[in-house]
Structure formats: C-alpha cells, structure tokens
Structure 1
Amino acid sequence: MQQWESDPAYKAVVRAFVDGDPQDQAGGPLDVRAVVAAIRPEAKDGFLVNEVPWDRFPEGREVRKRMERLRSGSIAAIRGALDALGGLCANDMRAAVAPAVPFLVRIGTDPSTGMRTEALGVTAAAARVGYLGVCTRDRMLRPRGADEWLYEPTGYLANWSVQAARDAIAADADLLLRLVDDPSPAVRIAALYALAAASDRARDIRTAFHTRLLTEPSPAVRSALILAMAELTRAHPAPETVGWIRDQWSTPSRSPEVRVSAALGWMCLSDQPIPDRLRAMVNDLATDDMAELMAPLPWMRAAECADGDGLPRCMRAMLHPDAPDTGDGQDDPWS
C-alpha cells in the first residue's frame, strides 16, 4: 500500500474533507457516489475497469491493480485480490472499494470464477460500516451513516463510501436476485447478505425473500432469509413486515431456526418490551446446536467475539442488557 503522506489522492481528500467543507464536494469528482453512478452498464458488463477513476480515492491505484487480477483466471490471484479488497473494508477504507462493487457483483454471479461467495462477501462488506461486534437491540441491523457523519482513517466520508456501495447493489439487484435460487446454499446466503444492504428495490427484494422461504430446504438459509428480511426492513421500514416477523417467532409450527432468527429480527425492529413468551421460546430453542447452525451466517460472524458465540452474545445483549458482556463465550447467556 502507498504511504499516505505521498499519495496525491490522500492529500486531496484531506484538503477537501478535513480542511474543507465536505458538502462542497457533493456531486463532484471526489464524490464516490457520483463516480459509481456514472459507471456505464457496458463498462460493468465488459469489466472495463480502466474507465473508473480509481486514483481519485486513497488506495485507488492499488484497488485498480487488484481489479485487473480478478480477470486473470488464476484462483490464487483472484483470492489475493478479494482478500486485499476485503482488508480495506475491514480497515474502514471503502472509498476506493465502492466503485468495485458493480464488478464484484458480476464476479459473484459468474459460476466460472470459482470465488462467488468471496466476491459477494466483499460486496456486502463495502456496504456496511461500524457493525462488527454490535449485537444490541438498538444497533444490530441498523444502517449506520444515515443520521451521523462518519469518517474513514484517510479523512474520507464513510457515509458516502457506504452509500455508493449500497446504491451499486440496488442498481444490480436483478443480478443478485437470481442468486436467491442458486443451487449453492453458501451463494444464497452471501447474496441475501448483499441484498439486505441495498439502498432501493426493497419491495422487490422482500417479495423474493418471501417466495424463497416457502420452498427453502436449508435451515441455515431459512435463518438467513429471516435476518436479511429484518435488516432490509430496518433500513426500509414496513410495518406489515414487522408484524410478519413477529408471527414467525410467535407461531409454534414454524421451524426452530426461523423462530429464533425472527426473535432476533423482531427485537431489533421493535422497541416494545420483550414478551415473556419470546423469552420462553428462546430458552427452549436457542440451544448450543442452534448457535452452531447459525454461526456461519455473516450476521452472526459480525456479532461474535469468539468463534461461534454470535447467537449467545446477541441473546445476552438483547434479553439481559444489564448483564456484563464477558466476550469469552463461556457463560450461559440465557440462564
């Protein structure tokens, strides 16, 4: 990676966003939202990465190099490129990654790449900020940046980076919606996680989630469908969906993973007191086996402190908010 002190893009960002008024850059060449919106459909489909002005953003030149490797045909090169892009997201440096999202979507929808879940994972990571370790009712599944200004370590507005990625997902929602019925459960889950972050098309996405849940054979994917529905509804409120999610956890005939996931979703969507029957259901169904089943889901991985403790941490934080979070995953969260 380049030294920030000698990177012209970093210097430009500091002048514009740290020393100046960020709002003056809205719609201009440093507004990554405008840059992503201007990428031609033909450039996306043809993987014409040279049409994107990567060097306007910190680490953009490195991202451009990584993008070229995504078409190398080498699994090792593709994996390395995706790891590097994911690393930038993990370090809250998404400005140069956001313009990559339309191309990552196409990697994720191309069975010949062999790295579909990884590409979709970076797509989803680019569209979320400040969510790791968050598992309380008021913060889990909440899209940050809508009502606060957040900055990346480079000084760039994280709000704009995330919004650009979310807009890119919405623009290519039709491609991602096809993956809701993909033969691979891992691809289905990765697509659901990406779609849950879309800035638009909520009605179409909800319809696809509802339809898939009727026939979904995998318990893990059924759980993911409920969590994706809840996250989408957190960003795009729909009272009827909140009621539907409540029905999912409160109906005994629903499968255990659906009821537990719906309980999590409902607690994040509602500020009502938690009913005793929800607590009783969790005591019965949120077992170690259920935690193991849900552990691979990206929502649970984002909430965990130790491997596999995502569900226990969430339940502890939501059902017992006054209890200390030990972070060791060893104590019984619903005792």
Structure 2
Amino acid sequence: MLTGIEEVDWASLGHAYGPADDVPELLRGLASDDPAERETALDGMYGAVHHQGDVYDSTLACIPFLLELVADPAVQDRGCIVELLTSIGGIELDDEEELDELDPEEEEFIPAANYAMAAAAIAAGADVFLGLAADPDPEVRLAAPCALASLHPEPARVLTLLRERLTVERDTEVRLALVAAVGRIALRHASLREETVDWLDWLARAAQDPGLRLAALAQRARCAPADIPDDVVPWVTRLLEEIRTSAQSPTATGNGREATPTLIGQVRELLEEHAAGRPAPWTEELLRTLHAALDDRVDDRIALILAQLRSPDWGQRSDAIWLCGGLIRAWRGRYDDVVRLVGAQLHDPEPRLREAAASFLERLFELGAPATDSLVVRLGTGPGTSGTGPGAPGTEGGTGGTEAGHGAHAFVGRTGRDAALLALARAGDTRAVPLLARALTEPEVRRELLYAVDGLGPSAAMLAPLLRLRLADVELDERLYDQAAPLLYALAAVRGGQALPEVLRVLRGAPPNRRDWVREAALRTLAAFGPAAREAVPELRELLAEESAAVSTAAARALWAAEGDLADVLPALERWLRPGTSSADWCAAAQAIGEIGPMAAAEAPALRPGLASRDPWVRVRSAAALWRVSGEVSASLPVLLAAWEENRHARVDIAECLAEMGPAAAEAQVVILTELTRRRRHNAREGACGSHDIHLDEKLLTLCRAALARMERGAF
C-alpha cells in the first residue's frame, strides 16, 4: 500500500502551512486501524493539504495515493476519502476556456492550473468509483454517487449505472444519494437533461418509497425550476406526512466512535446530535434543495413552511424554522403566521426545537411582533412553574401542558433566556424592560441586549440607574471598550443624563488600547444627554482639536447638543471637509453638519466638493447634509438617486433623506415604487448574512412608504 510514497520529495512541495514533509504521515494515518488516528489524519488533509478548498502541488501529489486507498477494501472510512477526492477534483472552472484566458505570469494562473490538473488527474482514475457504487460499506456507497457525477468523464455511462443501482440498493440514504447524483449529472450536462428530468418526474410519481419520491421531486425542481408543478406544496406536504407515518425508529445518537480534538470530529458530533432522535433527518436536505429551486416563489415557500410547522413531528418543525431563516433573510413576504407558529415552538419539550425557535426570533426585530406573547410566556416560565401558555407544539393555540413545563428548566438557562429576551426587546415590546432590569443585576449581560434598548421607547428610562451602576464598576483597563461601549450605547438610548459622572470617568480614563474608540463612544452618549452634559463643555472644547476625526466630530456633536453654540463647532467640523481628507473622516464631518441642519447653512460651499467624490458614501453623506443645511434639491437629489443604484447599502440613508424632502423629491417616485415592489431584500447576499439585515431592509421599506406618502400628499 502507498507504493512509491517515499520517492516523492515532499519537503520540496507545499501546503497551507509550509513544506509538505508531514503529508506521508497523514496519508498513512488515513489507512490506520485506529479510528481516532484516521479522523485526525483526515482533519490534517482538509486543514493543510486541501485548506479551505485550495489545491497545492502537494495536493496533486496526493491524488494517486488517495485513489489507491479508496480502491483497497481493507482500508476503513473510505467514504471519507472519496469525499475528499470529490472536493479536490470537483472545483469547477470554466475549464480550459478560463485557463486559456489567464496569463501564466498572473497570480491567479497557478491556482487555476492546479484545479484543472486535479480534476484531470482524478478523472483519469475515476473508474475506481464505478466499483464503489456496490461496495459492502454503506458509507462508501453513500459517497460514490456524487464522486461519479462530479468526476467521471463518461456521464452517460454513470447515469445508467446510477439508475441501475437504484433498483437494488436498500439503504435509504444511499438511495437518496443516487437520486441527487442523477440530478447533478442533469445540471452539468445539458445533452442529458431532458431525459433525466422526465425520468425524475416518473420516479417522483411512481416510486413506492415516499422519501424516494420526495428526493426525485426535489431534483426535478432543481433541474427544471421553471417547470415546477403548481401543486408542489400539497404534493410535498402529503409526502412529508407519509414519511412521518411510515418512518422507522428514530436515529440513535453517535456511532460508538470516541471524540477526537479535531474540527472534523466536532462537525461529526454536531451532525450526529442534530440527527439523534429523528426517524428521517435526511428530509431537511431534500427540502433545502426544493426551496432553492422554488427561489422567488415566496408564497409557495411560506405555505410549505407553515405546513411543516403544523406537523406533529418536532424534527419537521425544526427543519421548517431553519429553512425559514434562509427565506426571510433573502425575501420579503407576509411572515406573520410563520412567526406566530415559530413562537409556539418555544413551549415544546424538545430543547433543540426551542433553541432553533429562539435563535430565529432574535434576528427578526419588528417582524417578531406576532411571537411576543409566546416569548413573554416562555420568559416567565421557570423551575416550579407549569410552563403552560398559548401555542402548544405544532398548534396555533392551546397550552403547552405539563410537557412544556418539564422542558422549562433547560430553556431558561442563560443562552435560551437571553435569546428570547433579545427577541422580545428587538421587537420593541415594552414587557422586555423589567426583564432587562433583572438581567442588569446579574454578573454578566449579553452585549446585544444592551444594544436592543434603543427600540423600547420612554419606558426604558427606568434602566438608567442600573446602567449607571454597571458603568461605574467597569475597570479602566485594556478591556474598557468591550465592557463600556454597550453600556454607553444603552445610556444614550435612555437619555440617562444622571450617569454623566460615570461617562466622564470613562472619557477621561480611556487607556491607550482603542482609546479613540472609547472616547468616541463616550462622546456619542454625551451628545444624547444634550444640555444635561453641560458640565463636560470645557473638555468637549479641548477635544475639538483632536487629530482623530471620529473623536473631533463626536465632540462637536456633543458640544452642539450641550450648549447650542456653533462658534467653535462649525470650524472644527469644516477642517475635515478639505482636500486630502479620508473618506471616513469626510463622512463623519458631513453627517454631523447635516444633523445641525439650517443653522449650519454656511457650510454648504464646503460640502459641495463631496458631491463629485469617487467614493459613493462621501457623495451620499455630502448630498444629504447639503439638503439638510440649505434645502438645495437640484444639487442633492441627482447625486442621491445615482448612489441609490450604485450602492444598495446606502439606500436606507438615502430613503431617510428622500422622506425628509417630501414633495421636493417627486422625481424619486419611480425609484421608490420600484423598491417597494421588489421581492428580494436590498441587502440579501449569497452565503452571508448579518444580524441586522432583516431590520435594515424593513427600515428601508418603512422609509420608502413614508417618502412616497409625503410625495403623494404634495401632488394634490
């Protein structure tokens, strides 16, 4: 085994962490009889030799040995090695066309060439995967279909083999992998797509196994998304119910393998935990595929999620929550019923379902309103209480009963409680205020809870004394910013002017580490205090001259708020509106000037050069400020509308300005109407999301509606 491994000059090759002289040991580890050693070796292969999907010269040198390992039935865990090979060889370029367009001297040439060589090398030995489709090891059979569909150079031959194997395979998950591989071939090879879609359509209707029918339907939708049947929701709902009622015993936890201190080991344990106790955990991936195919058919996707949330199977309800998380982050829609049903899951005895529900709700902000009653009931539940309340598991009403009470103890642990409280506060529900007050008396407070105070209105003023006490206890050391910034933000939100001595203590005692960040945060809080911060005026005047624009402009804002005198404030701000100023500094000054409004009209000439900046944010901040100080629509509006199309992330700020302009911004009506009719969120990103993305998009919609209403009123 591994013949010739010593003949390779591994030290001359490289991987993510330098010379590849440790690779022979990793390859031998993959063939070890010790499961922990095999997993550690596999982790090393992914961590160094195939780091984050990269292909190095050492990766290429490994391919013959990896193919040799998967061909040897004496090697255990070969399914994992097949998956590794599939990942190495399955990175799809526009192949020769893209490689031909690259100059060999360009930095991108070598990685692209390595990907192409890896694909070619594995394709040359891909016949080894043909035999693995019937391997006695189900883990090998599970990995082989994707490898064949991704890497074998004869897709028609593979397609025939996959369909034949489906007639004799008895393992459920392997059968699903065979169907998924068929769909993959159809997507990659247009010449085979029509016949494959027809076969998948037949299988979705004719197969006896409901799981197989669901898999075929999902792949059919994936391959022909424009031809998804109109009755897909009731069709899938019936299949899910059939799967539930015919399912075998729940999946057991783990496989008897000891834990290893590796990333792969951790992922394996998480997947095992996720599947434990569920008779058909594989339905989640099938539904994910189906949702991706449905794409902008938001109403159908919502209907499917609602059906799942009403299922007696907690696993299906959990899947629905995670699937809806992806849907609601990317698409606008009517989610009230979904949110209400997700809130009902907070009373379920299954802790994983409660955790999923709380995690989902904490990202919704104002869209979480339909679940606030459920959140309040759950936050009031603890040891010794019944845990009853509206919304029993899988229903839209009723009580959680004794089972919900039995699970309460786990939920009201720190993590679950904080998530539910954060969701309630972000929804703007004032019932969160006394609960936040209780949280502020505990040794540790989740920082996001403090940043959620600003949505609770005047009722949150009662938190000021507690916030003041906590700020007084913060040490003036290198951790000051992390400890103080959330408290300062919350004090600004509640206008807690009585905490002025504590805020000044932080401002004066800021250590060198992130000193400007600390001072800026403190100054923003002083600005929120307004005249209550008069005692700080002498220090604020001194800070106007700081070399940090963030500190200087924050001091100018605070000084203006404290005494209303612009004699020193405007010159301090104008010095950042000069040639050579960085974009961030210009934006900070322009925004501060805009907040002052017409009293800063003298700064209009200083703002105008920013309208022609190459940086779109400078243009937006300058145009908005120019409008606010001078009312010049003719100069500001065209800049704002151009930036609307250029930088979608600036739309919230632009819409806020358009709403202020009212009838004067009538030229923007079409832009606003277009935004209001879009289904996709303006800040939706593939493969990435932020905790405030939904909130920012909903804020944009609210501002657009306000702007449109003001424009229309002005038209009559």
In the alignment, the residues of structure 2 paired with residue 274 and residue 54 of structure 1 have an alpha-carbon distance, to the nearest angstrom, of: 54
Residue 67 in structure 1 maps to residue 63 in structure 2: no
Change beyond 3 A, Cα 1:160–1:282: farther
In the alignment, the residues of structure 2 paired with residue 260 and residue 207 of structure 1 have an alpha-carbon distance, to the nearest angstrom, of: 21
Report the CA distance between 1:180 and its aligned residue: 0.5
Match of 1:280 among 201, 220, 234: 234
Asked if structure 1 preserves the Cα contact closer than 8 Å seen for 2:132 and 2:140, the reply is: yes
Amino acid at match of 1:83: D
Q: What's the counterpart of residue 127 of structure 1?
A: 89
Report the CA distance between 1:241 and its aligned residue: 2.1
In the alignment, the residues of structure 2 paired with residue 268 and residue 102 of structure 1 have an alpha-carbon distance, to the nearest angstrom, of: 34
In the alignment, the residues of structure 1 paired with residue 164 and residue 87 of structure 2 have an alpha-carbon distance, to the nearest angstrom, of: 26
Match of 2:168 among 212, 215, 219: 215
Q: What's the counterpart of residue 288 of structure 2?
A: 313
SS in 1 for 2:74: helix
In the alignment, the residues of structure 2 paired with residue 316 and residue 272 of structure 1 have an alpha-carbon distance, to the nearest angstrom, of: 13
In the alignment, the residues of structure 2 paired with residue 54 and residue 206 of structure 1 have an alpha-carbon distance, to the nearest angstrom, of: 41
Change beyond 3 A, Cα 1:247–1:58: same
Amino acid at match of 2:238: D
Q: What's the counterpart of residue 71 of structure 2?
A: 109
Amino acid at match of 1:275: P
Q: What's the counterpart of residue 92 of structure 1?
A: 53
In the alignment, the residues of structure 2 paired with residue 200 and residue 223 of structure 1 have an alpha-carbon distance, to the nearest angstrom, of: 22
Asked if structure 2 preserves the Cα contact closer than 8 Å seen for 1:163 and 1:199, the reply is: no
Report the CA distance between 1:165 and its aligned residue: 3.3
Question: Aligned residues: percent identity?
Answer: 23
Residue 190 in structure 1 maps to residue 190 in structure 2: no
SS in 2 for 1:197: helix
Asked if structure 2 preserves the Cα contact closer than 8 Å seen for 1:176 and 1:191, the reply is: yes
Choose between structure 1 and 2 for higher RCO, CA contacts under 8 A separated by at least 6 residues: 1
SS in 2 for 1:191: helix
Report the CA distance between 1:261 and its aligned residue: 1.5
Whichever of the two has the greater Rg, that structure is 2
In the alignment, the residues of structure 1 paired with residue 114 and residue 292 of structure 2 have an alpha-carbon distance, to the nearest angstrom, of: 29
Asked if structure 2 preserves the Cα contact closer than 8 Å seen for 1:180 and 1:191, the reply is: yes
> Within 5 A, what are the aligned runs for 1:159-308?
159-198=112-151, 200-237=153-190, 238=192, 239-249=194-204, 251-286=205-240, 307=274
Amino acid at match of 2:216: A
SS in 1 for 2:236: helix
SS in 1 for 2:165: helix
CA-to-aligned-CA distance 1:205-228 (integer Å, 9 cap, x gap): 122112211111112111110101
SS in 2 for 1:215: coil
Amino acid at match of 1:70: L
Report the CA distance between 1:77 and its aligned residue: 4.2
Report the CA distance between 1:319 and its aligned residue: 3.0
Report the CA distance between 1:90 and its aligned residue: 5.7
Report the CA distance between 1:106 and its aligned residue: 1.9
Amino acid at match of 2:291: R
Asked if structure 2 preserves the Cα contact closer than 8 Å seen for 1:66 and 1:81, the reply is: no
CA-to-aligned-CA distance 1:100-136 (integer Å, 9 cap, x gap): 233212212212222312211211221344xxxxxxx
Asked if structure 1 preserves the Cα contact closer than 8 Å seen for 2:89 and 2:119, the reply is: yes
SS in 1 for 2:212: helix
Asked if structure 2 preserves the Cα contact closer than 8 Å seen for 1:196 and 1:231, the reply is: yes
Report the CA distance between 1:189 and its aligned residue: 0.9
Amino acid at match of 1:268: R
Report the CA distance between 1:62 and its aligned residue: 4.9
Q: What's the counterpart of residue 382 of structure 2?
A: none
Report the CA distance between 1:46 and its aligned residue: 2.9
Change beyond 3 A, Cα 1:160–1:196: farther
RMSD of Structure 2 on Structure 1 (CA):
3.9
Q: What's the counterpart of residue 39 of structure 1?
A: none
Asked if structure 1 preserves the Cα contact closer than 8 Å seen for 2:27 and 2:65, the reply is: no
Amino acid at match of 2:203: Q
CA-to-aligned-CA distance 1:132-173 (integer Å, 9 cap, x gap): xxxxxxxxxxx5655878x9xx95665444433332332122
SS in 2 for 1:112: coil
Change beyond 3 A, Cα 1:198–1:61: same
Q: What's the counterpart of residue 140 of structure 1?
A: none
In the alignment, the residues of structure 2 paired with residue 145 and residue 97 of structure 1 have an alpha-carbon distance, to the nearest angstrom, of: 21
Change beyond 3 A, Cα 1:62–1:189: farther
TM-score by length of 1: 0.64
Asked if structure 1 preserves the Cα contact closer than 8 Å seen for 2:218 and 2:286, the reply is: no
In the alignment, the residues of structure 1 paired with residue 221 and residue 20 of structure 2 have an alpha-carbon distance, to the nearest angstrom, of: 38
In the alignment, the residues of structure 2 paired with residue 54 and residue 235 of structure 1 have an alpha-carbon distance, to the nearest angstrom, of: 38
In the alignment, the residues of structure 2 paired with residue 52 and residue 282 of structure 1 have an alpha-carbon distance, to the nearest angstrom, of: 55
Gaps of 5+ in 2: 252-266, 275-280, 306-317, 325-337, 339-716
TM-score by length of 2: 0.32
Change beyond 3 A, Cα 1:322–1:241: closer
Asked if structure 2 preserves the Cα contact closer than 8 Å seen for 1:188 and 1:221, the reply is: yes
In the alignment, the residues of structure 1 paired with residue 9 and residue 218 of structure 2 have an alpha-carbon distance, to the nearest angstrom, of: 40
Amino acid at match of 2:77: M
Change beyond 3 A, Cα 1:45–1:56: closer
In the alignment, the residues of structure 2 paired with residue 269 and residue 54 of structure 1 have an alpha-carbon distance, to the nearest angstrom, of: 45
Asked if structure 2 preserves the Cα contact closer than 8 Å seen for 1:63 and 1:97, the reply is: no
SS in 1 for 2:200: helix
Comparing 183-192 with 101-110, greater Cα deviation is found at 101-110
